[in-house]
Chain A
Amino acid sequence: MTLTAAPVSARADDPAPLPPEVDASFRSLSLHFAWKSGFWLLVGAFLSLLASVKLHAPGMMSESAWLTYGRLLPAGWSAVVYGFAGQIGMALGLWLVARAARRPLQGGLLVFFGCVLWNIGVLVGVVAILLGHSTGREWLEMPAGAMGFLVVGAGLIGACGWVTHAGRQESRTYPSSWFVLLALIAFVWFGTVALAMLAGGESQGVVQVLVQRWFANGAAKLWLGSLAVGCILFLLPSLAGRPLASRQLALYTFWCLVLFAPWAVAHHGDPFPRWVVSAGVGGRTLAVIGLAALALNLWKTAEGTCGRWCTSTRGLLICSAAGAYILGGALEYVASLRPVASVVRLTWTTQGLDWLWVGGAASLAFLALLPDFVARTSGRTLNPALVRWHAILTLAGIGLIALPLILAGVIQGLSMARAASTYMDVLRGSLHAVRLSSLGFTLLALAQFLLVGALFGVARQLLNDGLATLRQWSAVPVNGKRAEARS
């Protein structure tokens, strides 16, 4: 399969050709986003691998404070979530919105500036965590200053997406745009409120935890999750060669996500007022309706056609992303039910579900679209062999991270329920599965060298082209034709 064999149409139900200015408006931006997010994925995978290995060899590299498990874990996670997934997800989202609107991206310079701010924020944040300046709040570990850069950067990127959408040439919008537009507001909203309430010292006691969890849940579901759904709804019908089965079902999914998912914050047994826990359980239950609608919609769209495309690189990744989204959402709901939560809550399962969501649903969906994004916007093709091996290794890596961690949590929870012997015995029982996840981190880290290699190949193409132009320019005699050659 080659990357350009199956064109990604603007909409699977609309074969009209896309104006070339749409892709052209991303020409330089796409490579900026791709290089930076590829770099952060490599950094994040490597830091996460180190953290995972330290669970088996706690004395390894223990002389350096910045290499302790409690710093490596959030630093790696922040690099993956903000450096890679969020960054490339927003870039792909802008591209989908522009293609669906059949309109060039508006405010490209602002997007570039937003990208720069975003990367400064991630860099400062990851380094600060490693130096011990973490806030200690899950998903918000980066210091407030670094998060501020991210929020402003996302604001600039999001504003350009909305302006591009607002000036579209037809009133009817394609469903993937709804989800992307939601995501483009979501991070700014959740980030601004969380920063204002936490950094501003507005919250006391457990209200801080509610703010942190509300942000983390919003970032996972309404930001990364929405971007993932946007990519899936865009690419899957295109690969299946038929329109999305039901616009109405997509609408249910969308509004369930907006109205119910952000409430899924508290769990049974949390030290919050009981009604807050009830609201969390209610929100989580109602959000499942949207998840079921999405599953049905995707099934009806792809039914009977999977054999044709799901073994291709893009097909494999987008199928896995859709599966991870639905499985992750369903497992999270099941894990929140009281009898199950009594066993698996506060165990390795929590980490496993996070990886299934961010690594499986979001990252795989973004990686499925990334080669096309680069190829169609910059005219440079990522090496297909590297892309294919990167996809296979990443998929295997994330599978080996998420599923063993989920299993390890179940083992840990069941051992604790037996209340036998010591906590060390409980932990020892689950460590075999955790070791398997270290293998997953190894594959994930190795895979990213392939991605960086593919992106480096594009950089080399650009450099060669630049040098060729320069040579051509310098070879032209000074007779008035140099300006012509330059043009």
Chain B
Amino acid sequence: MRSTPLLFLGILAGMAASWWGVIVAPRLQLGGAPTVVVNGQHYPPRRPGLAEQGAEVYRAQGCNACHTQFLRPEGYGHDLDWGWGPRRTVAQDYLRDNPVLLGAVRVGPDLSNIGSRMGAGDTNVQPAMVAYQLEHLYHSRAAMPGSVMPAYPYLFEKRRIAGVPSPDALKLKAPYAPEDGYEVVPTPEARALMAYLLSLRTTISLPEAPIVPPPTNAVADAAPGTDAAVTNNATAK
């Protein structure tokens, strides 16, 4: 430790070794990974433009300060027991994301499969779930008493009802409802955020993370991890 150049080189070599081991080698392994083709479609799929804009809203609002987007496998926590998704998430799931917002703390539930929990593509479920999530976004306690999620009224527009009320207007109850003659409608940012949330799905079974079908006799009990529990949790959590 007497020689300054040797100390400098020693430190640099130690830090460079970790760079090579932690970043360069995984990048060589994963960096050029292609999308996989499942049922004739590429996975992960490209997000529609509105969902891409929603990803920007998600990042700008700092949603990842409270929500994670990764599920650990069985035996490493209880993520799957909570019905947040049908399988663990793997590197393949994030190939299209930039930035990848895994998150570090769960003040709120995990969102890696929130699209499925919101019934994405299911015309019977999706509209009601989107309306619920918009209400939650406007003022979390309007939808879920006791929630600690921040309110985002600036992602909505309160406006005077001109003629017929907008079909997109939130159905708010007192004390969150606007005064008579006014309505609250989502701004394009809020709609984009919903589109992004609907795009978050991990329902494709991958070789490294297969989806194990739930036991058929457990549906009635809505055991954690089953489809019934997922549906229940989508509203309860």
Q: Write the residues of chain A forming the contact surface with B, with a CB cutoff of 8 angstroms.
A: 54-56, 58-59, 62-65, 68-71, 73-74, 132-138, 162, 165-166, 171-173, 178, 181-182, 185-186, 189-190, 193, 197-198, 203-211, 214, 218, 222, 251, 255, 258-259, 262-263, 265-266, 268-273, 276, 279-280, 283, 338, 341-343, 345-348, 350-351, 412, 416-417, 419, 422-424, 427-428, 431
Of A185, A211, A280, A348, the contact of B12 (CB 8 Å cutoff): A185
Q: Give chain A nearest CB distance to B65 CB in angstroms.
A: 4
CB atoms of B105 and A189 under 8 A apart = no
Partner of B15 from A171, A222, A265, A419 at Cβ < 8 Å: A222
Q: Which of A74, A210, A271, A342 has the most CB of B within 10 A?
A: A271
Contact between chains at B77 and A171 (CB < 8 Å): no
Q: In this complex, what residue of B is CB-closest to A422?
A: B236
Contacts of B159 in A (CB 8 A): none
A235 to B148, CA, bound (A): 43
A70 with B63, Cβ < 8 A, contacts A205-B30, A265-B22 known: yes
Write the chain A residue with the least CB distance to B139. Answer: A59
- Closest-by-CB residue of A relative to B142 is A59
User: What are 9 of the A-B contact pairs (CB < 8 Å)?
Assistant: A135-B59, A162-B4, A204-B31, A259-B14, A263-B22, A269-B77, A346-B105, A350-B105, A424-B144
Provided the pairs A68-B61, A178-B7, A419-B82 are in contact, do residues A273 and B105 lie with their beta carbons within 8 angstroms? no
Q: Kindly state whether residue B60 has any CB partner on chain A within 8 Å.
A: yes
Contact A271 B147 (CB under 8 A): no
B236 contacts A58, C-beta separation under 8 Å? no
- Contact partners of B102 in chain A: CB under 8 A: 206, 209, 271
Question: What's the dominant secondary structure at chain B's contact region?
Answer: loop
> Is B100's CB under 8 angstroms from A263's CB?
no
Residues of A within 8 A of B11 (CB): 181-182, 185-186, 258
Interface residues of B (CB under 8 A from A): 1-2, 4, 7-8, 10-12, 14-15, 17-19, 21-23, 26-27, 29-31, 33, 59-66, 68, 70, 72-73, 75-78, 81-82, 88-91, 93-95, 97-109, 139-141, 144, 146-154, 224, 233, 236-237
Structural contact, B23 and A214, CB atoms closer than 8 A: yes
Contact call A197/B76, Cβ cutoff below 8 A: no
Are the CB atoms of A273 and B26 closer together than 8 Å? yes
B107 touches A427 (CB 8 A): yes
State how many angstroms separate the Cβ of A267 from the closest Cβ of chain B: 9
In the complex, which residues of chain A have a beta carbon less than 8 angstroms from the beta carbon of B82?
A: 416, 419, 423
Report the minimum CB–CB distance from A391 to chain B (whole Å): 29
- Give me the 8 closest cross-chain CB pairs, A-B, nearest first: A70-B62, A269-B72, A269-B76, A262-B18, A132-B60, A258-B14, A62-B151, A423-B237
Q: Which B residues touch A190, using CB under 8 A? A: 15
Residue from A69, A133, A222, A259 within 8 A of B17 (CB atoms): A259
Tell me if B22 and A210 are in contact (CB < 8 A): yes
B150 touches A69 (CB 8 A): yes
Say whether B22 contacts A73, CB under 8 Å.
no
Give the nearest-CB partner of B235 in chain A: A422
Q: Which residues of A contact B60 (CB under 8 A)?
A: 132-134
In the bound complex, residues from chain A placing their C-beta under 8 Å from that of B77 are: 269, 341-343, 345-346, 416
Q: Which of A58, A203, A428 is close to B31, meaning CB atoms less than 8 Å apart?
A: A203
Q: Are A419 and B150 in contact (CB under 8 A)?
A: no
Cα–Cα, bound, A251→B2 (Å):
12
Contact between chains at B76 and A189 (CB < 8 Å): no
Closest residue of chain B to A66 (Cβ to Cβ) is B154
Q: Which of B27, B104, B152 contacts A346 (CB 8 A)?
A: B104
Would you give the shortest CB distance from A205 to chain B, in whole angstroms? 4
What is the minimal beta-carbon distance from A355 to any residue of chain B, in angstroms?
12
Asked if B106 and A193 make an inter-chain contact with CB atoms under 8 angstroms apart, the answer reads no
From known contacts A207-B31, A262-B14, A341-B76, infer whether A136 and B101 are also in contact, taking CB-CB under 8 Å: yes
